[in-house]
Chains A and B, each alone.
Chain A
């Protein structure tokens, strides 16, 4: 009911002091004592222990939210806040944030309701933990009434085996009905020597103490390419960024924390393969070719687990669409998928722990780093710039998409749409690789239309692939005597629904393609590639 009025930090005083008031706090209390009565809060200083949680890719932070677990004597509570203003809280007895948990595994309550929507299917990871002492001092008016409070927080922050003392944090909290008094107290605190306004939230301060900052991971392409960069350097920089993303997702995949680690790992592999195909000739002779085969091996290694993840993630939605069969009929199918996934995850983990995987990543990094850090070519040496490369290769990829898409008619075989989907993915990656070089407004429109087309092609192909997989899985279940008749019938109904989805996707294809690659779309891409640079 009483939000923080203002946060301050006390220079040179940290949580290492163990909560004992230092000179800085004494100076603040002296200043406040000249305007208010000062009294300790009822009860002893509170031990404070809390953990900030977010998904690996900071979904809550990107939505402007901070999730905090606070441990207290009478059980824990989850607190969700925006700009340090509480949005929702709920008690969570018997729940601990010490290890990653899926957002859907949170106990029911208002915090879970908001968090699941944003975080699912990701797990919530402990990003930082702080422990310390909170001392509360009441500020009194002439009647001895509390009109504001001074909160002093001495904490240390830990993550793994790192422990770092945080600067002591001060806040004035308002007592309802006495806002002027709290403002006055905040002004007095702000004017005390050694006190400065806290520029960051407690969470951001804790992360900074650990050498991190919020949003320090993104599954997107984050390489900083500039227009004048020599093309080989740009390509190496880009590929190193993708390698970083790939490696950042290995641990989460091996620990099977949530299905998005594997997804992001696969996307990094796919982008790498596309970059090698589209831009690999910019690297020194013969460098990229062997890695094309190695990254294909890596991609193939991850496919079975990802396919099962997709089946299991969409399982409940699929079951809800059953009309003739009952969702319960599908349970043996779900159990079969889960068992099979256990086997596939083991195989995947063995591949990711293999010497072959380590060799690929280590050697690839070393080779790319040499290219990136090589002496820049002399002017006039004929080496392309990043911008020239972006224009040439994106245009070529777009022409391919436009030509192949235009050739598709209602009578075309499904393979022609599958092939177009691959070309569209390459175009999308080409656009993303060089995004910093394009006009952002036109770029958003082009990518938006392309995404709509990709969604349609994805629905078309995924429906077919899933349907074929269901047939194969039904065969496998029969061979293992794990398929009751009711389950096979329900799987048949799902396959029929997938065929309907595929037919619907086929119907909307022409409109989506025309919007993206028709005359207006072509003109837009031309403007994107040849118009003024940002």
Chain B
């Protein structure tokens, strides 16, 4: 199972939108895909019309009194399942800190038993650097980092790269991509050009700022499901093709090293 995590220290940059659309495309390609909505706001759960509630809350999952497996819900789409958000996730740092063993590896250990059932997992993370995000970084094979092309966003990418570089052992691959891009803005164009020239891990396909993407919250579905021929759907498809090129969902999994 290959694990992708959409992550950024900043909020409102398109993490959930990316997680929902890319997980949908992965499933549409025939891969058994699981999305875990780790954000207590539950936006990904809302978009799939699934109640943001886990029996026993985050505590039961983290302490292992409820198997992660039991919390999984099928979405409306073949091959795509979701672990819903729960409002108790807001205290997940405390829950993770209170567990036995390495508190930064807990999420990886919880996911390990699902490796036989799914080819790919997507973790939709809450913003900020916390014990939750550190867990996610240790569990993930690839960190998908949405960037609004602004100077401050570039700074957060630098901070993240530096933070991950400090990990011992395996580190997740960092794949940044441009999100909410406004082609009319000179600043956006300049930053995109500069970063693409300077950073090898940055995807060339941008996700534009489009009202259709905002409509996801009305339609409560990924854009490719309700507007498959739209510019937005084509952009997410091109981005996913670029990010997943050469991967089958099996190789290079960090879970293989853990289990």
A–B Cβ pairs within 8 angstroms, 29 of them: A1-B32, A1-B74, A1-B79, A1-B81, A2-B74, A42-B76, A42-B77, A42-B225, A138-B76, A143-B49, A143-B51, A144-B49, A144-B220, A145-B49, A145-B76, A146-B76, A174-B74, A175-B73, A176-B72, A176-B73, A176-B74, A176-B81, A177-B71, A177-B72, A177-B73, A177-B74, A177-B81, A178-B73, A178-B74
Please tell me if B50 contacts chain A, counting CB pairs below 8 Å.
yes
Chain B residue nearest to A91 in the complex (CB): B30
Interchain nearest-CB distance for A294 vs B (Å): 59
**Shortest CB distance B199–A (Å):** 35
Complex-state Cα separation, A482 to B34, whole angstroms: 61
In the bound complex, how far is the Cα of B76 from the Cα of A143, in angstroms? 12
Which residues in chain B, 72-86, are within 8 Å of chain A measured between CB atoms?
A: 72-77, 79, 81
Residue among B49, B51, B79 facing the most chain A CB atoms (10 A cut-off): B49
CB pair B32 A145 closer than 8 Å: no
How many inter-chain contacts with C-beta < 8 Å in the A-B complex? 35
Contact size range, B: 10 to 19
Bound Cα distance from A145 to B221, whole angstroms: 10
Counting chain A residues whose Cβ lies within 8 A of the other chain, the interface size class is: 10 to 19
- Across-interface contacts of A146 in B (CB, < 8 A): 74-76
What sequence of 0s and 1s flags, for each residue 134-165 of chain B, a beta carbon within 8 Å of any chain A beta carbon? 00000000000000000000000000000000
Closest to B80 in A: A1
Interface residues of chain A, those whose CB is within 8 Å of chain B, are 1-2, 42, 138, 143-146, 174-178
Q: Is the interface of A mostly helix, strand, loop or mixed?
A: loop
Question: Cα distance A145–B49 when bound, in Å?
Answer: 5
Q: Mark B73-115, 1 if CB is under 8 A from A, else 0.
A: 1111101010000000000000000000000000000000000
Residues on B with C-beta less than 8 A from A145 are 48-50, 76
Q: Mark B40-72, 1 if CB is under 8 A from A, else 0.
A: 000000001111000000000000000000011
Q: Whole-angstrom distance between the alpha carbons of A182 and B76 in the complex?
A: 14
Of B32, B73, B74, B77, the most chain A CB neighbours within 10 A belong to B74
Nearest 7 Cβ contacts at the A-B interface: A177-B73, A145-B49, A176-B74, A175-B74, A146-B76, A143-B49, A144-B49
* Complex-state Cα separation, A478 to B250, whole angstroms: 54
Inter-chain CA distance A42–B76, complex, in Å, is 9
Determine the chain A residues whose CB is within 8 A of the CB of B79 once the complex forms.
Answer: 1
Instruction: Give min CB distance, A41 to chain B, whole Å.
Output: 9
Task: Give the distance to chain A from B259, nearest Cβ to Cβ, in Å.
Answer: 20
| A42 to B, closest residue via Cβ | B225
Q: In the complex the two chains form, what is the Cα distance from A2 to B79 in whole Å?
A: 10
Additional A-B contact list (4), CB under 8 Å, known A1-B74, A1-B79: A42-B76, A42-B77, A144-B49, A178-B73
Q: Which residues of B contact A176 (CB under 8 A)?
A: 72-74, 81
Closest A residue by C-beta to B219: A144
Complexed CA–CA distance, A146 and B225 (Å): 14
Q: In the bound complex, what is the Cα–Cα distance between A2 and B81 (angstroms)?
A: 11
**Please, which residues of chain A bring their CB within 8 A of the CB of B50?**
145
CB distance from A504 to the nearest CB of B (A): 44
Complex interface bits, B14-41 against A, C-beta within 8 A gives 1, otherwise 0: 0000000000000000001000000000
Output the nearest chain B residue to A141 by Cβ-Cβ distance: B49
Q: How far is the CA of A174 from the CA of B225 in the complex (A)?
A: 21
